[in-house]
Amino acid sequence: MSTRLSAKTREYDLLLSARTLYDSYGAMLLGYLFEVVRDQCVAEQYLVDIFNEVAKEPANYNANGLSTLSQLQILARKKLTPYCQTLKDSGTGQDNAKSTTAKQNKYMSQMTPEQQHVFCGLQYHGKSIGVLAIEMQKPEDDIRKILKEAFTLIRRVNGHTGIH
């Protein structure tokens, strides 16, 4: 019985530590995330993902010689890397003029920026339709339709006219 009580106490302590970190740094981190993604819903989702990870070992964010906010921002940058890369690859981000992936790929060059974003997000970065729906502020059915259009375009570029 004491083992079970000890486990419950440890779990409570972890949640309390994560809650303390959230109360202290959540608003600042949300502001940081919003500056990157420029979308409140997407920023909030990333904040939830970050603090879900922090809740596993909140004590790690009060050590290592770095400020807690710096450590949380490093974790945020790791989480945001696929998002930023998708924007670059799809040609819809701030690096639109610099992105050459879409221009070099015969399939991507035929797609609209929206189709590129969905296709790259799903195929290259492993994002789910739900995540892309949140990022693009569209229903999941619209994301599926955009993906279907992208695949239809690829088949057409390859000379396949029928639907398989």
- Judge if 70 and 103 occupy the same domain: no
- Judge if 96 and 146 occupy the same domain: yes
Give the pLDDT confidence score for residue 104 in this predicted structure. Answer: 54
Range of the domain at 14: 1-80
Residue 65 lies in a domain: yes
The contacts of residue 13 (CB under 8 Å, 6+ apart) are none
Alpha-carbon gap, residue 123 to 37, rounded angstroms: 21
Which pLDDT tens digit goes with each residue over 72-105? 888 888 888 777 766 665 555 444 433 444 455 6
The contacts of residue 94 (CB under 8 Å, 6+ apart) are 87
Give the pLDDT confidence score for residue 150 in this predicted structure. Answer: 86
pTM over 0.75: no
List the chain residues with pLDDT less than 50.
1, 93-102, 164
What CA–CA distances, in Å, run from 118 to 13, 86, 111, 126, 151? 41, 9, 10, 11, 11
Q: Tell me which of 33, 50, 80 is where a domain ends.
A: 80
- Judge if 74 and 107 occupy the same domain: no
In the chain, the number of structural domains is 2
- Judge if 102 and 141 occupy the same domain: yes
Concatenated DSSP letters for 135-146?
A: HHT--HHHHHHH
CATH number at residue 133: 1.10.10
**Contact assessment for residue 82 and residue 113, using Cβ atoms and an 8 Å cutoff:** no
Give the pLDDT confidence score for residue 160 in this predicted structure. Answer: 61
